[in-house]
């Protein structure tokens, strides 16, 4: 490799490797400190409530309905078990997983491309995976404030699992292939808990292992190929068994199947169809912050494919492409979907930057060598431009947290920015106020009914009030699309919600985002007799208290 700035390469002793890693971890920790103060986003509120329920003996889907794969619920439950039943526990989990991912990125790059590249990759990962860009909504170039929207999202936990599997596949060249295949199956299986798109990685691994076994020293060996594939598939399946047993034991397998395979698939068309503006908007929202990773990743990919086709380089290239496919495959282009691409992009940046820039034994020589070539000057300026852009866009985020941590900003003022209304129905600042109100007014054991919500489960978590129905998030019962609203499952679940709400008649009923009288008029549900019945019921027996950001709390007369 033609050198970059050769400072770290001169640090030959092994101990420096770990010194750099320790400094990198300290830096990772430092720049992520604000996450310990941030509240939950809309999705996290749902995950957190279900995780709490699991620890209290409830069963996801059966007692707490959701359309999300179950891996994330158990992960949150684990964090609650370890760090206590608070919002910050989930963020501590995020922090720990980020540190693990940094270690893996650093060690993997060090093994493949050396100390310089490892430092660059590690820095790139730690900085850019903590950017605000991953809070993007995927449309209209809009983003949530800060990082709270993507903290502890499923992709955060998938990234180190996939990265670990890639690391193992690289080690497979020299280690026991069978053991590695089994562990890889387990790791990918775990990743698939969170999102089923991880299956793409399994397919990639199977193809790679099959190819390697077929062109190895011993030549084509069908038994070895079949054995390797079976081991991976076995590992992938094995990890599912404890969870399947859990649902079977609680008589909830049918509910899991209904939610994740029947109901979810009907909703998939809400976001699929690859609207071109969403595609562009989602990419723009992310790339504007970490463009440098994309540029180096694509330029390095080309360099690898045309010039440097070693086994491991190709593996990194394919992993990158599959990660992109995992993002694109979802068709929504939310910011946090892109978290999966940061590890391979960071590694490719570590690979590419020393190749594309001239080396130098000191800062001055390094600059002079690069400034003598306009292309290298361009690359250097681009790197600095992107870092400056990152700093500018994140400045307010860190400034606000510094004021909060130093006690110069009260909590209520700090929470003011955590509202995505009206771009998205979720508003933590308002939900927090409702929670304070309910804590004051509600009597022990009273329930909170929610008619239309999107993440406002956080109120249940903050107050400890039980919901009336199992629909802790119910936006999907009131879709704007008429065919989805008329879908038999949706209609049945909506009836269930209405029946339980009227039967229980809780003291408090919350409707978020849309006033109840408008909700019952949306074309897709306006002819639903259940909804009309619910509206009449609420109108007759409740009075309205309004909160900011279109929160309508009905209190029983």
Partner 1 sequence: MDKNRKSLDGVRVKEIGFIFCLVAFAGVLRIPSLTQPLGPDQGIMAVIGQGILNGKLPYRDYWEMGSPAVFFTYALMFKLFGIRMVAIPITDILVSMLTTLLIYLLGRLVWNREAGYASALFFAFFSNGVRLGMHAGGDIAFGTFWYIAQRETFMLPLIVGSFYCILRAERGGKSLWMLGWSGFLSGLTFIYKFPSLLIFFCLLLYLNKAVLIPRVKERWDGLLIKNFVLISGFVLALAPFVLFFISQGAFHEMTDVIFKYVYSVYGNIEHNYLSIIKMALTRTFFIAQENFILWIFFIATSIYMIFNERSKENLLMVLWGLASVLFVISHREFFGYHYLMVFPPFSMLAGYGIIKALGPRINLREIFTEEPGKAFIIFAILANLVFFATLNYMHYTKFYYYVTGKISQEEYYAFFDAYPKHDYSFPADYEAARYIVNHTEETDRIFVLGGTESVIYFLSQRTSPSRFIFSWVLFSRTHGRVPQAETYRQELLTDLRRKSPKYIVTIRPLDTFEQFSDIYSFIRNHYLLEKKLQDDRFLYVDRKYEAGKI
- Indicate the residue among 308 and 499 with the shorter CB distance to partner 1: 308
Shortest reach from residue 13's CB to partner 1, in Å: 32
CA distance 249 to 266: 27
Structure tokens at 16: 């420096």
Shortest CB 181 distance to partner 1, Å: 34
Tell me if 143 sits within 8 A of 196, measured CB to CB. no
| Binds partner 1 (CB under 8 A): choice among 302, 402, 403, 482 | 302
2 or 10: CB nearest partner 1: 2
Bridge partners, residue 511, by sequence: 452, 552
- Which of 81, 269, 375, 439 lies at the binding interface for partner 1 (CB under 8 A)? 375
Written as one string, the DSSP assignment of 76-91 is: HHHHHHHH-SSHHHHH
The one segment of 54-62, 303-311, 427-435, 540-548 that binds partner 1 by CB under 8 A: 303-311
Nearer to partner 1 by Cβ, of 238 and 368: the residue is 368
- Least Å distance, CB 138 to partner 1, is 12
Residue 537 to residues 121, 477, 507, 517, 556: CA-CA distances in angstroms? 59, 19, 13, 12, 11
Q: What is the pattern of x (binds partner 1, CB under 8 A) and - over residues 461-500?
A: ----------------------------------------
Q: Which of residues 386-425 bind partner 1 (CB under 8 A)?
A: 388-389, 392-393, 395
Least separation in angstroms between residue 285's CB and partner 1 is 9
Smallest gap from Cβ 342 to partner 1, in A, equals 17
Other C-beta atoms lying within 10 Å of the C-beta of residue 349: 27
Binding status of residue 288 toward partner 1 by CB under 8 A = yes
Q: Of 147 and 281, which CB lies nearer to partner 1 in the complex structure?
A: 281
Site map for partner 1, 322-361, x if CB under 8 A? ------------------------------x--xx-----
Residue from 129, 82, 86 nearest 105 by CA:
129
Query: How far is CA 398 from each of CA 251, 282, 403, 458, rounded to the nearest angstrom?
Result: 47, 24, 9, 25
165 makes contact with partner 1 (CB under 8 A): no
63 and 470 Cβ atoms separated by less than 8 Å: yes
Choice between 128 and 193, CB closer to partner 1: 128
The CA distance from 555 to 508, in Å, is 5
- Kindly give, in sequence order, each residue whose CB lies less than 8 Å from that of residue 445, ignoring residues fewer than 6 positions away: none
Assess contact for 432 and 410: CB atoms under 8 A: no
| Residue 363 binds partner 1, judged by CB under 8 A | no
Candidate residues 258, 377, 504, 524; the one interacting with partner 1 per rule CB under 8 A:
377
CB of 428 to partner 1, least distance (A): 22
| Minimum gap (Å) between residue 122 Cβ and partner 1 | 21
**Residue in this structure with the two tokens 């071109």, named with its chain if needed:** 276
Tokens of 460: 């249940």
Interface with partner 1 (CB under 8 A), residue total 42
Cα–Cα distance, 136 to 149 (Å, whole number): 8
| Binding piece for partner 1, criterion CB under 8 A, among 282-290, 430-438, 472-480, 522-530 | 282-290
By the rule CB under 8 A, 306 interacts with partner 1: yes
Which residues neighbour 311 within 8 Å (Cβ) at sequence distance 6 or greater? Answer: 173, 212
Residues 50-69 that bind partner 1 (CB under 8 A): none
Query: Smallest distance, Å, CB 300 to partner 1?
Result: 8
Which two three-digit tokens encode residue 23? 């400094």
One of 25, 104, 180, 295 touching partner 1 (CB under 8 A): 295
Compare residues 101 and 300 and give the one whose CB is closer to partner 1: 300
C-alpha pair distances (Å), 510 with each of 66, 331, 438? 19, 31, 11
Asked if 290 is part of the footprint of partner 1 (rule: CB under 8 A), the reply reads no
Q: Toward partner 1, which CB reaches closer, 174 or 408?
A: 408
Instruction: Determine if 294 is a binding residue for partner 1 (CB under 8 A).
Output: yes
Q: What are phi and psi of 130, to 5 degrees?
A: -110, 15
Give φ, ψ of 451 to 5 degrees: -90, -55
**C-beta closer to partner 1: residue 18 or 371:** 371
Question: Judged by CB under 8 A, does residue 299 bind partner 1?
Answer: yes
Please state, in angstroms and rounded to a whole number, the distance separating the CA atoms of residues 296 and 287: 12
Identify the DSSP state of 67.
Answer: S
Question: How many CB atoms are located within 10 Å of the residue 439 CB?
Answer: 12
User: 279-293: string of b/e by CB count within 10 Å (b at 16+)?
Assistant: eebbbebbebbbbbb
d(CA 140, CA 445): 42
Binding status of residue 291 toward partner 1 by CB under 8 A: yes
Which spans of this chain sit near partner 1 (rule: CB under 8 A)? 141, 277, 280-281, 283-284, 287-288, 291, 294-296, 298-300, 302-303, 305-307, 352, 355-356, 368, 371-382, 385, 388-389, 392-393, 395
């Amino acid at each position: 490799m033609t050198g970059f700035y050769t400072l770290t390469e001169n640090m030959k002793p092994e101990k420096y490797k770990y010194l750099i890693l320790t400094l990198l971890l300290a830096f990772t920790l430092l720049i992520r400190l604000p996450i310990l103060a941030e509240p939950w986003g809309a999705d996290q509120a749902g995950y957190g409530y279900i995780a709490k329920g699991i620890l209290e003996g409830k069963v996801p889907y059966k007692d707490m309905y959701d359309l999300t794969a179950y891996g994330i619920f158990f992960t949150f439950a684990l964090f609650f078990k370890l760090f206590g039943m608070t919002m910050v526990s989930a963020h501590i989990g995020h922090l720990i997983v980020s540190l693990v991912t940094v270690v893996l990125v650093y060690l993997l790059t060090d093994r493949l491309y050396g100390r310089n590249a490892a430092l660059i990759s590690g820095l790139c990962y730690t900085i850019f995976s903590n950017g605000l860009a991953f809070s993007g909504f995927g449309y209209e170039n809009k983003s949530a404030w800060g990082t709270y929207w993507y903290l502890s999202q499923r992709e955060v936990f998938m990234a180190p699992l996939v990265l670990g599997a890639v690391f193992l596949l690289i080690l497979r060249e020299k280690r026991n292939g069978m053991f590695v295949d089994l562990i890889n199956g387990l790791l990918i299986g775990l990743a698939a808990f969170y999102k089923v798109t991880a299956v793409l990685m399994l397919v990639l691994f199977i193809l790679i292992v099959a190819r390697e076994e077929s062109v190895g020293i011993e030549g084509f060996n069908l038994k070895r190929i079949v054995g390797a594939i079976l081991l991976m598939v076995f590992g992938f399946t094995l990890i599912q068994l404890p969870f399947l047993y859990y649902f079977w034991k609680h008589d909830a397998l049918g509910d899991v199947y209904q939610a994740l395979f029947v109901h979810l698939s009907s909703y998939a068309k809400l976001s699929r169809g690859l609207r071109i503006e969403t595609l562009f908007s989602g990419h723009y929202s992310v790339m504007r912050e970490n463009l440098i990773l994309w540029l180096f990743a694509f330029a390095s990919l080309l360099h690898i494919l045309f010039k440097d086709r070693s086994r491991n380089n190709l593996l990194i290239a394919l992993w990158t492409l599959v990660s992109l496919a995992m993002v694109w495959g979802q068709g929504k282009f939310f910011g946090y979907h892109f978290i999966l691409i940061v590890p391979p992009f960071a590694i490719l940046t570590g690979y590419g930057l020393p190749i594309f820039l001239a080396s130098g034994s000191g800062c001055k020589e390094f600059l002079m060598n690069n400034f003598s070539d306009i292309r290298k000057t361009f690359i250097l300026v681009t790197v600095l431009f992107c870092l400056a852009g990152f700093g500018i866009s994140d400045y307010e985020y860190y400034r606000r947290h510094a004021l909060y941590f130093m006690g110069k900003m009260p909590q209520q003022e700090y929470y003011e920015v955590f509202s995505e209304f009206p771009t998205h129905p979720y508003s933590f600042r308002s939900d927090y106020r409702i929670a304070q109100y309910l804590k004051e007014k509600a009597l022990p054991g009273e329930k909170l009914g929610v008619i239309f919500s999107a993440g406002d489960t956080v109120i249940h978590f903050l107050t400890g009030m039980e919901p009336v129905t199992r629909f802790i998030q119910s936006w999907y019962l009131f879709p704007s699309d008429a065919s989805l609203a008329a879908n038999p499952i949706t209609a049945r679940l909506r009836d269930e919600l209405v029946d339980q709400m009227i039967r229980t008649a809780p003291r408090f009923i919350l409707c978020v985002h849309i006033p109840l009288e408008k909700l019952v008029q949306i074309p897709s549900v306006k002819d639903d007799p259940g909804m009309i019945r619910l509206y009449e019921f609420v109108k007759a027996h409740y009075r309205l208290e309004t909160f900011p950001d279109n929160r309508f709390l009905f209190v029983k007369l």
